[in-house]
Chains A and B, each alone.
Chain A
């Protein structure tokens, strides 16, 4: 049984068929890639699996249990952590607060603790702060902890967003174009970081990428999506040589 399994998932936005008959199977420790041209429906697949949209048809199972119909925060607490394509950060919060927030579902002190500073609250908050620093260190951004998120350079913001996603202690980490808008130097660091996180935590990663070099380097298995449909699936080698992929997508990118 796969860790995360998606079957026959189809989604319509009104009359627009954004995703059609999508299948996915990810095992623990696997890095799965998803590529495809703009508007192919990649982010929509992320949003469907993480509960932001409910698929028109199909089933999604995490460890054999269907997670269809759960709210995004419930799905997140069950173990699907994610980042967003356009980094969705909280404008007025510090770096540390970002990562601590991701531990929301792990706090048990309740309203009593929130109102009265009970011992349980102090203990849990301290513990969550320690964990948050741990994740920030992992991404080399701990020295920014007390800064407002907007004082950080772009690359560092991306790292904080990833640290935040990991702080939910996911079983599968969803990364939506983690290298978007990065310069070659930042990109190299990001690839190294993703690889290190994968090795250290041994979690499954589901990666959307525009840059083929990155997916080819990181993933064991890749799907190519065009107009909401998977047109090719396989190892990086197979994808690279698939004529359909070359036609639909790779052609222009290889030239670049």
Chain B
């Protein structure tokens, strides 16, 4: 249905002559550009900023490079608005558009050759390029690095919650709890092994081994979260009915208060001094892994069984689907990724406390799932990136931020009740394909 709507819009745009001409022009200008072309354009833009950004800010009278596409600068000091806008146009918009357009045919040729070789190779090169863009962009300031890492972690959280709330159609509230379990288990492991700590004593292993053990720590954190998920899953999926929402909410509060009362891991004061292991490459790789594996899952018949269970459980059973196992597996799987995200989160901030994993985090991640779109990988990425960046960009507005963002969410819920990009399958092959220019 979504697809059909989209198609209709497109034909309308190309047929109806007068009212949508401008849009048609834009669309024609940007049609036929493959993903590779866009990534190249972005690479040019971030390189420009990297090498010429400081010089340009001086010319434009800006104190420093606008850190989040000028939003923060403009909201803080409206007088700098013209300068910031010019900076954005000169450094981002024009280079991206021009490179993407002029390089389109070359990019198409390369994309075609790559995909013919193998989808995996093409995906790998696209990801390298994407990583290069992100790395160079973030290199400008520590703030950007942090924002980017937290955004990537939000993508993992959102997508894994979407498996339950979107693909499976149940309402789970326990994600902050799983995240907390992952964060603490992972931290205890790394702090215990590699840090001279008051609580856990001398480091057991030399610090240079730490990066090799970090994946183990994350998997351990994820597995612990999945094991904890059993406490929610077993009572909730025993019978049919809407127990999950309430049980999972209770679980979240229980995890929080258990941690608050465990003095050995810092209690309410939290746990710090995690080794510096979650660099941008690590966070990026784990995010890609998470998206890839979840996408593989939801596109397989085993994963589609979640949709069948959601849309009609009885019919799923009658068609040989083991619905209970399907639900349990998906729930533990989602909890695993929330745990991994928690482990990364703890090592990005190098400090965690139980207060981080409460109702506010739940509201955030639920908002990202429903804003981005149910049952959709695109949706979760858009929701997490969109709301995270928006939250950062609107930070100067202080109190008004908490009015604007909910307002936006309400609007989305009214006009697109299932989220911005709901029920759209993410097919890597189609994303990486060359594009042909439409007339």
Contacts and interface: CB of A to CB of B under 8 A. Distances in A.
A114 B296 contact: yes
A13 interface: no
Interface string A88-118: 1111110001001111111101010111110
B439 interface: no
B375 interface: yes
Interface residues of A, number: 42
B273 interface: no
B316 A114 contact: no
Nearest to B119: A117
B311 A92 contact: yes
Contacts of B423: 92
B319 to A, nearest CB: 4
16 contacts: A88-B315, A90-B307, A90-B311, A91-B312, A92-B311, A93-B307, A93-B308, A97-B304, A101-B304, A101-B316, A103-B320, A104-B302, A111-B329, A116-B293, A151-B4, A165-B318
A102 B321 CA distance: 8
Interface of B: 1, 4, 293, 296-297, 300-305, 307-308, 310-312, 314-323, 329, 375, 423
Given A71-B317, A89-B315, A101-B316, A121 B300 contact: yes
B312 A90 contact: yes
B311 A72 contact: no
Contact of A103 (B301, B312, B375): B301
Q: List 3 tightest A-B contacts by C-beta distance, closest first.
A: A105-B320, A90-B311, A88-B315
Contacts of B312: 88-91
Contact of B301 (A84, A88, A100): A100
B305 A104 contact: yes
Contacts of B301: 100-101, 103-104, 107, 125, 128
B311 A91 contact: yes
B320 A73 contact: yes
Contacts of A115: 293, 296-297
Contact of B315 (A84, A105, A117): A84
A151 B4 CA distance: 10
A151 B296 contact: no
B302 A111 contact: yes
A116 B296 CA distance: 6
B319 A76 contact: yes
B315 A104 contact: no
Contact of B300 (A50, A114, A150): A114
A148 interface: yes
Contact of B321 (A81, A101, A113, A150): A101
A168 B319 contact: yes
A52 interface: yes
Contacts of B311: 89-93
Given A92-B423, A104-B305, A116-B293, A164 B319 contact: yes
A101 B300 contact: no
Contacts of B321: 73, 101, 104-105
